[in-house]
Structure 1
């Protein structure tokens, strides 16, 4: 078991703020789409279109706000993103037609992506000698918070009234405000001076951009548990439908118990590259096992699905830990927010494009599509160690060049 409470005060503040935030996120992630279709009465097609537009809109916010956090102080910028997210979420209750809906979800999605980038310098500054391990701890906290929020969302869905759904939205907005208030207890982080040279260095770092793309492809795996497996279970297998919740709970428990432990041995970029490779193999095996659950008795389908989810979640532990390591370790300290904002572009693309890709391959095509998806993950994992090595060599060359420049100046 990871430790329940971090050692230092700032880490405790960040963890508490993250927990409250993710309780609110759990409310929306579980039943946000149902709020717009059942309470607002928007057609499902319009909701899907609006969420897709919001996902693409969010891609442009992370890099700029991450750079702002580096230059102006991460705490204040992060608090501002939480306030904007709270206001946009509260605006959901006023969105009674398509275009107001698109406006509020775009603002909320952009603020969410910006907040991830703005929080990164805080994690690096207060994360101790191994901020990557503290980031893994926060991911475990995230899964606990989302699970708590999902319980509240379940109540709203069960009641099914407009008032219940609006209370769910209000709870989400209040959670963001409380999360921002808690950050007032966090000592501010002084902005680091920028290095000489171009301002947008992350967008010029070709190895890091390649890693962003590869991680984005691998990040499609997060939608396997939430999109592909539920649809496959209902449409192609004889497994009981309640197993959808069972598979989600299985994955959540594994992440909470083992994410920190999985991150401890991934302590350098090279280890991160190897973890990507292991994750790709695990996803290939998982997809193969899940594909076999069609056309078999219910008990066999259930056993195969649970086995596939366990294998997939082990791969998810490795993938997440690898992403924490390489994204932080290969980013210059003075540009952490900007670099992590760029790294988030990959996950943003996976968020926007992953569901459609998985539905087309795994659900529409069927069993062969699962093998194609698994092979995509495996090939991505095999390519990533070389990309990590390239990025690490460039980082060492950059440090050597800066050192030589400082000596010449002296």
Structure 2
């Protein structure tokens, strides 16, 4: 329970902003390349290359965001990410060439990359007196529900005349509305960095326990990318499953993550976060085994049933991992350098999105089952590493109970 009334009153507008933001993103993300092609009128190869170049440029926004968060505050940076993405989507319909495409897509990519350390840092500010796990779980629930609703609305929007331009306008509006909710929040005690940040990224990179945490998180991030990057190739190319199955698996995952986050969080509230994450690693390994066991089954319904079962176990592991991971990283970061610490922690996604497409394709192309063996090995090492890190990370980060907080 949040003890500060000002922080408690701030969580409502914050969560509404997160919901509206995700609703707009849900309209766009499932159709990303098609959306850009239809809005700009550019050929598919040009769009693909432009988005790749823009995403590469956007990687730099992650460490820059960390500096800005520590220099100013997380809420200011978070509002900034909304404003620049609103501008980017508003400009998309005006794009008519390769250069403008890169410029607009890069602005949006920078906003996307800066959003994650900023939002995670702001949760840490709002929950300084406790309740961090609960707010992370609530945020994940709100965003998954909104993202699912946005995906449904996108299917209706594209059937309308000018539907893609409408999606661009609605997504831009969602960022404006989300920033308006954040700006309504009065500054909370401790929102600004407590003192001038010293040490910079050198301190982060020489913090052995925290960098150990980042290393094990990379294994979990790669595993989570399976659902969007590796599983479509495995299910269709290796198992011969119809592409429509992928939509079913994605829907199962999205709905259960939205519905189960708070319940799983309640079950974990007395556990050490390192141990909760390690247990999620074991469950992720079980899902890898189930995905691998689908291959020797007869084609058709048996393989599809195995994919559904494996995805259910995968989703449970995802639920078990998400909240402890976010809370542990935020708690292990010194307040004066929290922006930089969480920016480094979020880089696991940037690295994963670079490594996963080529790595997963290579493993599936050479020996399909080796993908699951490689992930299971990484997860086993990560889970063991978390148990060793439990005594090296700050006690109040590992468990609120160790610090006497709820």
SS for the counterpart of 2:333 is coil
139-148 or 185-194: bigger deviation: 185-194
CA displacement at 1:50 relative to structure 2: 3.7
8 Å Cα contact 1:237-1:296 kept in structure 2:
no
In the alignment, does 2:236 pair up with 1:234? yes
8 Å Cα contact 2:197-2:337 kept in structure 1:
no
Instruction: Give the distance between the partners of 2:200 and 2:231, measured in 1 at CA.
Output: 43
Give 1:31's aligned residue. Answer: 31
Give 2:87's aligned residue. Answer: 87
8 Å Cα contact 1:228-1:363 kept in structure 2:
no
Question: Given the superposition, is the C-alpha separation of residues 182 and 338 from structure 1 closer, same or farther in structure 2, using an over 3 Å criterion?
Answer: same
Give 2:10's aligned residue. Answer: 10
Give 2:314's aligned residue. Answer: 312
Within a 5 Å distance, the mapping from 1:238-277 to structure 2 comes to 238-264=240-266, 266=268, 271-277=272-278
Runs of 4+ aligned residues of structure 1 deviating over 6 Å after TM superposition are 393-396
Instruction: Give the distance between the partners of 2:98 and 2:73, measured in 1 at CA.
Output: 36
Within a 5 Å distance, the mapping from 1:227-376 to structure 2 comes to 227-264=229-266, 266=268, 271-294=272-295, 296-362=298-364, 365-376=367-378
CA displacement at 1:158 relative to structure 2: 4.8
Question: Given the superposition, is the C-alpha separation of residues 247 and 21 from structure 1 closer, same or farther in structure 2, using an over 3 Å criterion?
Answer: same
Question: Given the superposition, is the C-alpha separation of residues 41 and 288 from structure 1 closer, same or farther in structure 2, using an over 3 Å criterion?
Answer: farther
User: Normalising by structure 2, what TM-score?
Assistant: 0.86
Q: Show CA shifts across 1:159-199 (max 9, x none).
A: 6x6x2212112211111111111112211244132267424
Instruction: Give the distance between the partners of 1:373 and 1:41, measured in 2 at CA.
Output: 39
Give ranges in structure 2 of 5+ residues lacking alignment: 1-6, 399-406
User: Normalising by structure 1, what TM-score?
Assistant: 0.85
8 Å Cα contact 2:120-2:326 kept in structure 1:
no
CA displacement at 1:387 relative to structure 2: 3.7
CA RMSD of aligned residues (A): 2.8
Question: Given the superposition, is the C-alpha separation of residues 392 and 13 from structure 1 closer, same or farther in structure 2, using an over 3 Å criterion?
Answer: same
Q: How many residues align?
A: 387
293-302 or 308-317: bigger deviation: 293-302
Question: Given the superposition, is the C-alpha separation of residues 235 and 117 from structure 1 closer, same or farther in structure 2, using an over 3 Å criterion?
Answer: same
Instruction: Give the distance between the partners of 2:94 and 2:198, measured in 1 at CA.
Output: 46
Instruction: Give the distance between the partners of 1:302 and 1:340, measured in 2 at CA.
Output: 38
Give 1:146's aligned residue. Answer: 147
Give 1:406's aligned residue. Answer: none
SS for the counterpart of 1:390 is coil
Give 2:58's aligned residue. Answer: 58
Give 2:166's aligned residue. Answer: 167
Instruction: Give the distance between the partners of 1:287 and 1:320, measured in 2 at CA.
Output: 18
Instruction: Give the distance between the partners of 1:48 and 1:370, measured in 2 at CA.
Output: 28
Q: Show CA shifts across 1:184-215 (max 9, x none).
A: 22112441322674244334423212322321
In the alignment, does 2:150 pair up with 1:134? no
Question: Given the superposition, is the C-alpha separation of residues 196 and 350 from structure 1 closer, same or farther in structure 2, using an over 3 Å criterion?
Answer: closer
8 Å Cα contact 2:81-2:115 kept in structure 1:
yes
Instruction: Give the distance between the partners of 2:168 and 2:365, measured in 1 at CA.
Output: 31
Give ranges in structure 1 of 5+ residues lacking alignment: 1-6, 397-410
CA displacement at 1:48 relative to structure 2: 4.1
Give 1:100's aligned residue. Answer: 100
In the alignment, does 2:224 pair up with 1:188? no
Give 2:19's aligned residue. Answer: 19
8 Å Cα contact 1:238-1:296 kept in structure 2:
no
Instruction: Give the distance between the partners of 2:91 and 2:55, measured in 1 at CA.
Output: 18
8 Å Cα contact 1:73-1:191 kept in structure 2:
yes
